[in-house]
Amino acid sequence: MTTLLARLAGLCALMPAVVLATPADATIAACALDMGTTLDPRATAALERIDGAGRRLLALRSYLRSGQNLAERWSWSDGQIAAYAGSQEQQDMQREIERVREAFAAINPGYELWVNPQVRSLDTQLQNWNTNASVETAGAQLLDALQAHVAPSKLKHGCATRAGAAIQQFLLSYAPSPAPSLAAPGLSPHGQMRAVDFQVHRADQVVAGPSVATIDTDWDAAGWAGRLDTAVRSSGARFLGPLNHPREPWHYTFVPERVGAQ
Ligand SMILES: [Zn+2]
């Protein structure tokens, strides 16, 4: 018992106090960090900044599932964001956004589309992930399911064991419920400015914004999802979408010309 307590005390030093809901959670949260050390160092560092075992496991699952694609999907650094400003790709995307805006304004007089022109930094994604309610709920469900699958007592010798391998296998096949409304930190398509969230504005008022809570009312009942989609398609702009899993009727992915030209 003394040994276990000493180990848990050591783990506590690694994590913010807020994550220590139970010793079992702490053990699993530390395990998630251990497993993360095999990933791209940027993902390893991101995991250390995620609060709580559930949120951390949920992110680890996404990182493991990204496999070889993680590096190319990873959010831009400050240097890459600076290089994008004024680049050909930025100009191309801006032109495509303008085509959608014009098509939308022509068929919806008095309304306009607005797009946040900022790349979503890793810091912002981490902050969102650590505070988002759907991530909290999905993380708690994942933690419960995992503890039913692998008893934390089996992890007292660390994660480089069969129990650790069992956790990894479990994460790779697990489908989160509910589906989190955010991509894991570092993997948001907004982190490379390859996606845009359109908003419908009238004068200075947001008529339909990028919020899951407004999908039923503003996007479906009021019809803005359909009107936005009509504008995107009729404009012929190089966007794919909208995002279906999780459903975000405002989210479209930009396809740079060189991708289609290959
Ligand atoms: Zn989006």
pLDDT by residue for the chain (262 residues), tens only, comes to 334 444 434 443 444 444 445 677 777 777 777 888 889 999 999 999 999 999 999 999 999 999 989 999 999 999 999 999 999 999 999 999 999 999 999 999 999 999 988 899 999 999 999 999 999 999 999 999 988 888 767 766 666 677 778 888 999 999 998 889 899 999 998 999 889 999 999 998 999 999 999 999 999 999 999 999 999 999 999 999 999 988 999 999 999 876 544 4
Alpha carbons 194 and 185: distance in angstroms, whole number = 15
SS3 content of the chain, % helix, strand, coil (to 5): 60, 10, 30
Ligand 1 mean position to 71 CA, how many Å?
A: 20
Own/partner pairs, 106-113, CB within 8 angstroms, 24+ separation: 107/227, 107/230, 107/231, 107/234, 108/200, 108/227, 108/231, 110/202, 111/200, 111/201, 111/202, 111/207, 112/200, 112/201, 112/202, 113/198, 113/199, 113/200, 113/201, 113/228, 113/231
State which amino acid sits at residue 158.
G
The residue whose two tokens read 């479906």 is 220
Ligand 1 mean position to 195 CA, how many Å?
A: 6
Q: Which of 137, 209, 142, 202 is nearest to 172 (CA)?
A: 142
Ligand 1 mean position to 190 CA, how many Å?
A: 7
Q: Which residues fall inside 5 Å of ion ligand 1, going by CB?
A: 197, 251
Ligand 1 mean position to 251 CA, how many Å?
A: 4
Which pTM does this prediction carry?
0.76
Ligand 1 mean position to 183 CA, how many Å?
A: 9
Ligand 1 mean position to 162 CA, how many Å?
A: 38
pLDDT at 10: 40
197 close to 128: Cβ distance less than 8 angstroms? no
Alpha carbons 90 and 194: distance in angstroms, whole number = 10
Ligand 1 mean position to 10 CA, how many Å?
A: 39
Ligand 1 mean position to 130 CA, how many Å?
A: 17
42 close to 186: Cβ distance less than 8 angstroms? yes
Ligand 1 mean position to 144 CA, how many Å?
A: 29
